[in-house]
Structure 1
Amino acid sequence: MDLSLLLGFAGLCVLLALTPGPDTFLVLRFSLGGTRAGLAAATGSATGSLLWALAVAAGLATLLEQSAEAYRVVKIAGGLYLLWLGVRALIRRGRGVGDVDGAYGVRPAAAMRAGLLSNVLNPKVGLFFVAIVPQFLPGHDVTLGATLLLGAIFAAIGFVYFALIAVAAGKAIGWLRRPRVEQAIDRGSAGIIATLGVTTLVSATR
């Protein structure tokens, strides 16, 4: 594969990673429970990207492009999941339990699962692989190996960016755990996640 194509694709991935989305807020929120939880969420998101790449290579994700109903179903599922995460966190926070998914010190497995589901249930990621990835393949030949290579680049760049967020949050955990700061970030991130869920659901019904 042409090196210039790979570099161009990597640059695009960097720009996309820097654009805040559901995964960004999930990683930040889980990072309040410690660096390990944040890194686990980042790993889950990266794994989701690889699964999307595999689905595209297998021709499954093309359904999202060709079927409005399939796209709507995935979008609704993703919106409901984000809404559930946000509302659940807000309710538990209101009861005095500070947590990303129930309590600080959340298990990495739970954080990884949340990151994975958030990515897999985001049809925009699938459409990115369906519509954008082929443009960087020689002759637009969507082979398993080439698609997985680009998927690995996308996942790796996303993971590095999210890992930096997790590590930075872990280093600043003392400051982030100050009552006012913690409350602002906790409620803010939960509210944003819930809002993203509502926005996704509303757009899916149009």
Structure 2
Amino acid sequence: MTFPSLAAFIGLCAILALTPGPDSFLVLRYSLSNARSGLSAAFGSSLGSIFWAALVGIGLAALLEQSAEAYRIMKIVGGLYLIYLGVTAFIHSRRMQHGPLDGERTVKNSSIRSSFLAGLLSCMLNPKVGLFFLAIVPQFLPTGNASFGLTMLLGVIDFAVSMIYLGVLSFVATKAVLWLKKPSVTKAMERTSAGILATLGLGTAISANS
């Protein structure tokens, strides 16, 4: 791969990362709790790129492009998962309104694991990311030499670009919360991000049947 091609691919990855979507709002939502949870969600979301690169490398992701039914099912499942995340985030904000829960340290550790899994599943269940890899990655593979290794390398590059952007987003969101330091503001932001996630999920699920 030539340097101009590599630069072009990195630019496309940056555009994908900067486009507002479930991953960005998910990272913002977890960053309101603490920095580790936000970065964990960012890492999980970014790692999903390698998952899609692997599927493209072995040819399974082509099913999404060839089968409208498979694409529709994945959109519905992904939408329902986003609705679930939004509802649980709203419930969490209401519980925190009544003060810290018992076993706060355990909850924080659990939050880091759950935020990572939430980010990873959000990306893995997002067919638009899969279609991005199907449409873009083959254009940067040598003709007649679409190796699995090179496909995975492109996936790692997208992972790095996404992680940089989402990591910065998490850092800024965490600093903003620490600066505001008002429970009422934090609660409002948590509920807003929860509502956005649920709305995105509902819209995704409905669009799958249109």
| TM norm. shorter chain > 0.5 | yes
Distance in 1, matches of 2:38 and 2:131, equals: 26
Report the counterpart of residue 76 of structure 2 in structure 1. Answer: 76
Distance in 1, matches of 2:137 and 2:63, equals: 16
Report the counterpart of residue 31 of structure 1 in structure 2. Answer: 31
Give the residue type in structure 2 aligned to 1:33.
Answer: S
Report the counterpart of residue 112 of structure 2 in structure 1. Answer: 108
Distance 1:170 1:137, change over 3 A: same
Aligned pair 1:14/2:14, yes or no? yes
Report the counterpart of residue 89 of structure 1 in structure 2. Answer: 89
What SS class does the counterpart of residue 33 from structure 1 fall into?
A: coil
Structure 1 unmatched ranges of 5 or more: none
Task: Write out aligned runs for 1:154-193 (5 A).
Answer: 154-193=158-197
What SS class does the counterpart of residue 143 from structure 2 fall into?
A: helix
Aligned pair 1:130/2:134, yes or no? yes
Give the TM-score of the pair, scaled to structure 2.
0.90
Is 1:34–1:173's contact at 8 Å kept on the other side of the alignment?
Answer: no
Give 1:169 shift. Answer: 2.3
Give 1:138 shift. Answer: 2.2
Give 1:141 shift. Answer: 4.2
Aligned length: 203
Structure 2 unmatched ranges of 5 or more: none
* CA distances 1:2-42 after superposition (whole Å, capped 9, x unpaired): 11111001011112211111000111111111111111111
What SS class does the counterpart of residue 138 from structure 1 fall into?
A: coil
Distance in 2, matches of 1:160 and 1:31, equals: 15
Distance in 2, matches of 1:107 and 1:195, equals: 23
Report the counterpart of residue 204 of structure 1 in structure 2. Answer: 208
Give 1:56 shift. Answer: 0.5
Give the residue type in structure 2 aligned to 1:198.
Answer: L
Is 1:134–1:140's contact at 8 Å kept on the other side of the alignment?
Answer: no
What SS class does the counterpart of residue 60 from structure 2 fall into?
A: coil
Tell me which stretches of 4 or more aligned residues in structure 1 moved more than 4 Å. Answer: none
